[in-house]
Amino acid sequence: MKLSEARAVCANLLWREYDGELYQKRQTELLEKLVMASPQVSNLEIGSFLLNATGLSHLGGEAKFCRHLQRLINMAGFAEMQIGIADSAFAAQVASKFKRSKQYIVPAGKDKDFLSALSVQHLPVSAETQERLFRLGVKTIGQFLQIPVEELQERFGKEGLLALELGSGLDRREAQLLHFPAIYESFVDLNFPVESLQQTQFILKSMLENICSRLKENGLEAEELLISFFNENDKFDERPLKLLRPSNSPRFLLEILKLSLEATPLAREYTALNIRISQLSQESWEQNKVRIVESKKQESSKELVLLNKEERRSQKHASTRFVAESKNSQSQAEPFALLLQRFITRLGSKSVVHAVPGDQHIPDLAASFLPVVEEEGSILSLTISYADPELSGSPLACGLVLKKSAKPQPVLLEYQGKVPKSLNYQGRWFKIKELSEPEKLSGLWWENPIRKSYYIAFIEAGHESYLVLLVHDYDSNAWQIDGFFD
């Protein structure tokens, strides 16, 4: 029906645009169901599949095979289907389009006879070729097959030769043996309610040991866990847990699950739970970097130096240190990852940040703080100093790091003549003990024009003292503190 005709019959009809991803998802789900009927299954197009149906004589025959397919497809939620069985994929595909029956079985060795009586419209050729065949008076596939090969090639090229093969019952397409990725999960049905965290840890420990042993056998590591809790048949809690680093250690994964349950306790008791590894990665076998350096005392001798470790030992202990480092690198990284995991589990993914430099000459925009844990779950490490005395011209903040405020803090200044002598910050007066020469900057006229003077000020109130970045905004004629040096 046209949309207007359909709405005349059903006024509440809803129109949905074609969703290719949705169709592809359902196609994949059906493919997994059809493996139960035949291990060799391939996609032809959306809604069309190719299955290997050989060797059915000892399994009830082809009719029983068709009934089995119908049952599988019905269970998947599809009521209408057509099944065609033939020696070639093309003949079977054409047979499946016969609307008068749900199944059509072409007798063995009769594909050419079956196709010959059908219209040339079944051939996979272009509309232009169909029109040319109609003008030549070729209406059936049998008539098409009678055209000499030389003439067919001259008139229709490769398209005509392919159509000749398919119409003769020759099709090189075959169903493929599917290899689905292994699913690493563990499900436990307890048949009794569990509420305590201690009992849950004991259950999770055995489940994770089972999963991790399979991961290690295949050289894989988990990147994300998905844990689900059920009460009878009701799934009341499901939480994905992104790992800061891939791991196949049951102890490490158990600690992460424990952190999640401590930070967000379950709302009710559960009777079953399921753990699934939703994202995987290959286990890394990279060794630590080693470089060879010349000894200052003996130019002829060389020794192994491990990067980023304690100062070098003697040459006779170099190999021992290398072996020890290989064994301890993972154990040293694990507590750090657990510490970060604890922070982001309890306080959120943006609770741990690091400084990233910008490309602006204006201190307000010279850097920003970004989460240490990126979207992909990787851990970054970076240290930046924004108080270079060679750039700022002031030794006050030499070697210190500027900790920018999330939002500039307004302050009230008191002058002695034209020189600021004290400021009021958050209701308290601080005496300005030292003040650097101003760095006057302007720019960003194409976005949001800035005209500011930047001072490094040492302020004091009683026993408290701070080193701050004091800014005078000429456009608003206001003073503010943009950060503290530490």
Show the CA angle centred on residue 142, arms to residues 144 and 111, nearest 5°. 120
Indicate if 227 and 301 belong to the same structural domain.
no
Say if 380 falls within a structural domain.
no
Percent of the chain with pLDDT over 70: 77
Say if 253 falls within a structural domain.
yes
Give the model's confidence band at 397: pLDDT under 50 very low, under 70 low, under 90 confident, else very high.
low
Among 237, 266, 282, give the residue marking a domain's end: 282
- Return d(Cα 260, Cα 231) in angstroms, integer: 19
The model's pLDDT over 249-298, given as tens digits with 9 standing for 90+, comes to 898 899 889 888 988 899 899 999 999 998 888 887 554 444 434 444 44
Burial degree of 116 (CB within 10 A; 0-12, 13-18, 19+): middle
Say if 123 falls within a structural domain.
yes
Indicate if 34 and 132 belong to the same structural domain.
yes
Q: What is the mean pLDDT of residues 178-194?
A: 83
The set of long-range contacts for 361-365, using a CB threshold of 8 Å and a minimum separation of 24, is: 361/441, 361/443, 362/441, 362/443, 362/444, 362/450, 362/452, 363/402, 363/441, 363/454, 363/469, 363/482, 364/404, 364/408, 364/450, 364/452, 364/471, 364/482
For residue 85, pLDDT beyond 80? yes
What residue numbers bound the domain in which 454 lies? 389-485
Q: What is the mean pLDDT of residues 177-189?
A: 81
Please tell me which residue, 36 or 253, carries the higher pLDDT value. 253
Among 137, 167, 197, give the residue marking a domain's end: 167
Give the model's confidence band at 333: pLDDT under 50 very low, under 70 low, under 90 confident, else very high.
low
Say if 461 falls within a structural domain.
yes
The model's pLDDT over 419-472, given as tens digits with 9 standing for 90+, comes to 889 999 988 899 999 888 888 888 776 767 788 888 899 999 888 888 988 999
Indicate if 422 and 475 belong to the same structural domain.
yes
- Return d(Cα 484, Cα 468) in angstroms, integer: 4
pLDDT score recorded for residue 396: 60
pLDDT score recorded for residue 443: 78
Give the model's confidence band at 114: pLDDT under 50 very low, under 70 low, under 90 confident, else very high.
very high
Give the model's confidence band at 479: pLDDT under 50 very low, under 70 low, under 90 confident, else very high.
very high
Indicate if 50 and 148 belong to the same structural domain.
yes
**Closest to 305 (Cα-Cα) out of 287, 293, 295, 297:** 293
Say if 172 falls within a structural domain.
no
For the chain, the domain total comes to 4
pLDDT score recorded for residue 297: 41
What's the CATH code of the domain at 103?
3.30.70
Indicate if 200 and 329 belong to the same structural domain.
no
Indicate if 123 and 197 belong to the same structural domain.
no
| Total residues found in the chain within this entry | 486
Structure tokens at 39: 């291990």
pLDDT score recorded for residue 58: 72
Structure tokens at 340: 């970060």
Say if 393 falls within a structural domain.
yes
CA distances from 457 to 276, 442, 460 (A): 55, 20, 10
Indicate if 219 and 144 belong to the same structural domain.
no
Say if 302 falls within a structural domain.
yes
Indicate if 189 and 114 belong to the same structural domain.
no
Please tell me which residue, 192 or 318, carries the higher pLDDT value. 192
Indicate if 117 and 215 belong to the same structural domain.
no
Indicate if 339 and 415 belong to the same structural domain.
no
Among 235, 252, 282, give the residue marking a domain's end: 282
Say if 7 falls within a structural domain.
no
